[in-house]
Amino acid sequence: MMQAFLSVLNMSIASTILLAMVLVWRWALRQYGAAGFRCLVWLPFLFRLLVPYSFPSGFSVYNLIPGRLEKPGGALLSIAYLDTAALGEQSLAAGQNLAYKQLLGLACGIWAAGAAAMLLYMAAQYLWQRISLTTAYRLPENETASYAARAGQRKPSPVLCTGAVRGPLVFGLVHPRVLLPLSLWEQPHGREYILLHEFTHIRWGDHVVLMAANLALALHWFNPLVWLARRRMAQDIERACDARVLRGLERQQQLAYAQALVDWAGRRSGWNGYAAFGDRDVSQRVRGVLAWKRLPRWAELLLGAAMVACFLCTATNPLVRADTYLPVSSPFVSEADRDLFRAAAWRLAEGLENADPLALAGQASMDAAYFAPLYEELAGMRLEIDGMRLYCNSADAAELYIQVTVQDGAGVYASGEGVLVAHMVRTGYRPEPFVDCLMPQAKYESMRRADTGSEAARLAVRLCAELEPGDFEAQSLSPVTVARVCMASAIQDKGETSPFSPARMEQLAREYFDLEDFSCRDPAVFDAAAGTYYYETTSTPRMCVTGWENTSEGGVRVTVESYEDPLCLYPLSRLECEMRKAG
């Protein structure tokens, strides 16, 4: 849920600039017969509100905001350089404030409650309207077919007369129907134009657009600009529909159409949720009808090109925080499971404060006596625990955030205040949770963010598994290393299988390392008899991505550490990989 909230928040921020552009367009076109284009310019805005994916765009206005952009994905990365950093004390001071995370968690809960209430209200209104149609009278198709044909419909949609609506509207999504009030059946003045209007709505899919706008409003209910946009969008859709109807009417019929608008002004059923003929602000529509003129073809093409340019200018997303990781506490974890994690949290806290190597080893492994000597250095550690917060992700996993003040880090942690994070898991070996890792907050959250599927992170982990400490350049990596990393990437990311042909290996080396005409005949990776490359898995220490930073050149810098101890306290090696877009 937290990731959904952040996605909605990002989309809401990203759409704000686009909304400003749309409002400027509306103002600029107010004197011209461009109602259809005024309606169309809302579609990119609606797309930005509903679709979390952002297209890479060099023209995006968000490119002007340094360090606040979501880097476009999809392209493979190549290595610019590799460097092994010196291992030393781990700082605890680089993590985010826990109060900030709790505030975002509260905001997420409020947003979810508001969105659920909005969706329930819309669903209830829809169901009530649908139930009320059981007593509606359906007009014969031969009475409405001519109007549907004039609006461009091949088969007329059903037209129902009901006392459940005060004004004409289109109801439904997949199989839309036109609903007319009983008063229109009794006094049919203007019915011709009303049916033309409603059938035109259906012909152009306006009811679908308005339903999508209602969904966007439910998701972005906290943003007052979205409420404003929803109202303006509905107004422009109605005016665009007016313009489409007017194209097929003579001057006297246009005047009669304007009179019908006046007669049905303000007759809407419930909230403004459906495509409807009546409008509380009918004066602008009437003036538009009386002053309507069709735009020249060249003007329509120019406006269309400008609309596409507006969309490209807002095609990428800004980030709320580039380094935000939010732990999630699931409401579906039983109290018994929570008690097990709470007990494990207190045991870990006691082991840290008492600097007890045996207790800490027991938290990480069933064989505490075997790993206790590995943590003997921790016997000299002195720290105070200032507070803890437990997040039960599921019945089998939890995250424990521990606020600490370190007086003596025993060579493991630097002195000062900060946050340690313990990841706890339950396995089938014992009911009590194990501590899977214990890391400074910044390290831990970088590792979790990288777990979401970053290609750069996976490539860096494979390099760390293959390389020995030292400095490397992409062009001087050993052919065996290049071949193994390429094959591992193809197997794990693309679902391919070993062996690989020389032609395929050349393609992979070009994709991942920007190397041309790659070849390696070392028997460690190449079967000379078969003329193919083969991949064999090897045993490696645990690899964790503990650093992630976008560079000013458009690349990314990834830090990978390897661990053999179960608590992940002592990194064996640390590898920094700076990567750039290939080609």
Catalogue all structural domains in the chain, each as residue range(s) with its CATH number. Answer: 335-450 (3.10.450.50), 455-581 (no CATH)
What residues have CB less than 8 Å from 103, skipping those under 6 apart?
none
SS3 state at 373: helix
Which of residues 550 and 223 earns the better pLDDT score?
A: 223
* Better-predicted residue by pLDDT, 478 or 67: 478
Q: Is the pLDDT of residue 294 over 70?
A: no
Residue 97 has pLDDT above 80, yes or no: no
Identify the pLDDT of residue 108: 81
What pLDDT score was predicted for residue 266? 57
Question: Of the ranges 42-46, 99-103, 278-282, which is most confident?
Answer: 42-46
By the 10 Å C-beta count (0-12 exposed, 13-18 middle, 19+ buried), 538 is classed as exposed
Q: Spell out the residues 6+ positions from residue 161 whose beta carbon is closer than 8 angstroms to its own.
A: 136, 137, 138, 139, 179, 180, 181, 182, 184, 185
Overall average pLDDT of the 72-88 stretch: 47
pLDDT on residue 72: 36
Confidence band (pLDDT; 50, 70, 90) for 22?
confident
Q: Which residues neighbour 169 within 8 Å (Cβ) at sequence distance 6 or greater? A: 178, 179, 198, 268, 269, 274, 275, 276, 277
Which residues, 6 or more positions from 536, have their beta carbon under 8 angstroms from its beta carbon?
A: none
pLDDT tops 90 at residue 465: no
pTM of the model: 0.57
Q: Rounded distance, CA 59 to CA 312, Å?
A: 6
Mean pLDDT of 532-551: 82
Q: Tell me the C-alpha distance between 98 and 521, whole Å.
A: 53
Above 70 in pLDDT, residue 473? no
pLDDT on residue 75:
35
pLDDT of res. 251: 77
Tokens of 2: 């937290």
pLDDT tens per residue across span 195-236: 888 888 888 888 888 889 999 999 999 999 899 888 888 888
Report the DSSP pairing between strands 382-394 and 169-171: unpaired
The answer to whether the beta carbons of residues 496 and 490 sit under 8 Å apart is yes
What integer pLDDT is reported at residue 58 of this predicted model?
Answer: 57
275 close to 207: Cβ distance less than 8 angstroms:
yes
For residue 504, is pLDDT > 90? yes
Q: What is the mean pLDDT of residues 427-448?
A: 83
pLDDT, tens only, 303-327: 777 777 766 676 555 544 444 576 7
Q: Residue 157 contacts by C-beta under 8 Å, 6 or more apart in sequence?
A: 148, 175, 176, 177, 178, 199, 202
Q: Does the pLDDT of residue 181 top 80, yes or no?
A: yes
Structure tokens at 528: 């000379």
25-38, pLDDT tens digit by residue?
A: 777 666 555 556 66
Give me the pLDDT at residue 453, please: 56
pLDDT of residue 470: 52
**pLDDT for the residue numbered 115:** 92
CA dist 85 and 177 (Å) reads 68
Work out whether the CA dihedral 151, 157, 159, 165 comes out positive or negative: negative
Per cent of the chain over pLDDT 90 is 8
Of 49-63, 127-141, 482-496, 545-559, least confident by mean pLDDT is 49-63
Asked if 525 and 480 touch (Cβ cutoff 8 Å), the reply is: yes
Q: For residues 349 and 493, give the distance between their C-alpha atoms in angstroms, rounded to a whole number.
A: 39
